[in-house]
A and B are shown apart, each in its own frame.
Chain A
Amino acid sequence: MDPYQAGYSPVHHTDARVKVVFSVAFILTTALIPIGSWPMFVLLYAILFSLIILADVGVGRVLQRSILAVPFVLAALPLVFTTSGEQILILDLGLWRVTATSEGVEKFLSIGLKSWISIQAATLLIFTTQFPDILAALRALRVPRLLVAIFGLMWRYLFVLADEAIKLRRARAARSGDSGIRGMNKGGSVSWRAKIAGGMAGSLFIRSLDRSERIYVAMLSRGYDGEVRSIPLSRLKPSQWTILIFGLGILGIIMLISALFWG
């Protein structure tokens, strides 16, 4: 379940702080470039695509993960019909009459592309950086410690929870048998199965709650006082600074060009 893909590429070796800052800046740039500035989209994606190739994590795997962008794209779909502008299509749906505008389509495509590119940038980050390193980088970047601690605990226990869910499903499968009597309709009704699945989800929830209390007690008994302490990271090396400044510089130029020509 851990998305990290071990490797020895230059992207893997870059300091996590540089990667986190660059990824956030990249996503911000993608979000801020004006709608319809298509060459800039191509340019941004070309940069990202080169990095994916350089990281050698598999273009297919990154694209597979980018399916996560679908909900955001779908949420932008109404824009096609709600933006005013040049009408290109009129749909008659009985009571309603909706009109698609070219401005709307342009907006929708831009937002869809922005989500898709951003998700891939985030995917590249988690594919090439181990999660504890991302957390350390966030702390170094002065993200509130409590927030980072919550991310960390969530990450740690997500696997435990997934494990428990697998065990529950195994226990269910082990008792999902066939009586061997002809004419018996095995499997039960849909509503009964839904009830069972609900019971499983409930039991998982109760156990997670119990576990979280045990974890908290274990933390308290080791002296936890609400403050998470960690060993500070070493200073960023000059070579890493160079990479960071170069990367941010390129993003800055893209922002400038898009503001000049499409702004």
Chain B
Amino acid sequence: MHHSIEIEGLSFSYPDGQEALRDVSLAIQPGEKVALVGPNGAGKSTLLLNLNGILAGNGSITVCGLRVEKETLGRVRAMVGMVFQSPDDQLFSPRVFDDVAYGPLYQGLPLETVHERVSESLAAVSMSDYAQRVSHHLSMGEKKRIAIATVLSMNPEVLVLDEPTAGLDPRARRSLINLLDELPLTMIVSTHDMPLVKDLFARMVILDRGSVVADGATNELMDDIHLLEAHGLERPY
């Protein structure tokens, strides 16, 4: 039995010398849902981009028993479904169908499988009627759901989401939370939405200035008001 994600001593600096991650270590069990919180510029997005090798720092990352390195990038990217903060970045094809089909088509899967995957993923996010719609005209909440479908179609083992609830109205937010709750995948979610963390995630990791400053049960960490305040966070009511 291996961990879904295992990070050991990960450090990362941007080319301009700015140090974004400092000796980060983290292990996530299969099926576990973990929230990654911390102030702006803490290194959350940088950490997520390291998980599928889009950025590569020093240290080791193992995803589903596979070390993330140049040779394994293809497998790693198929196993880690990454949903970016802005769905406009994620939806680059003119139509919803083309976008959801991108992953499986890239993998060279047979056409019947591609069609199956697309309808399964759209059904999973309750957007089955949207396959022929033009991505550009969708609402923010709809775009978010489609963005999640575009990675579900790759049958990933791990779902990585960056700020999934940013910019959503309360109803769209609630329905997205229900969706995330239902999906039976290992999940790592970076967010500023503390009520979301409280509702959905049993485990919480606080990242500040590139280092993990706390990692534990959400209800315990949420009670430590001093810790939250020290890292620019607020306790939800």
**Which A residues are closer than 8 A to B by beta carbons?**
164, 167-168, 170-181, 184-188, 192, 195-196, 199-200, 202-203, 206-207
Contacts and interface: CB of A to CB of B under 8 A. Distances in A.
B108 A179 contact: yes
18 contacts: A167-B89, A173-B77, A175-B82, A177-B103, A178-B74, A184-B108, A186-B74, A186-B106, A187-B108, A188-B105, A196-B93, A196-B98, A199-B92, A199-B98, A203-B92, A203-B93, A203-B135, A203-B136
A175 B151 contact: yes
A176 B77 contact: yes
Given A196-B92, A203-B136, A177 B82 contact: no
A177 B75 contact: yes
Contacts of B214: none
Contact of B75 (A167, A168, A180): A180
Contacts, number: 95
Range for the number of chain B residues in contact with chain A: 20 to 34
A216 to B, nearest CB: 19
Contact of B84 (A170, A181, A186, A188): A170
Contact of A174 (B52, B104, B109): B52
Contacts of B109: 179, 181, 184
B90 A171 contact: yes
A174 B92 contact: no
Nearest to A204: B92
Given A167-B89, A172-B102, 13 more contacts: A168-B92, A170-B84, A170-B89, A171-B92, A175-B151, A176-B106, A177-B74, A177-B76, A184-B109, A203-B91, A203-B92, A203-B94, A207-B88
B14 to A, nearest CB: 13
Interface in B1-56: 49, 52, 54
Contacts of A202: 94
Interface string B92-128: 1110001000111111110000000000000000000
B186 interface: no
B206 interface: no
A94 B24 CA distance: 69
A178 B88 contact: no
A212 to B, nearest CB: 15
Contacts of A203: 88, 91-94, 135-136
Contacts of B74: 176-178, 186
A170 B98 CA distance: 17
Given A203-B92, A206-B136, A178 B75 contact: yes
Nearest to B92: A200
A64 B23 CA distance: 38
Contact of A199 (B94, B108, B151): B94
A170 B91 CA distance: 12
B190 interface: no
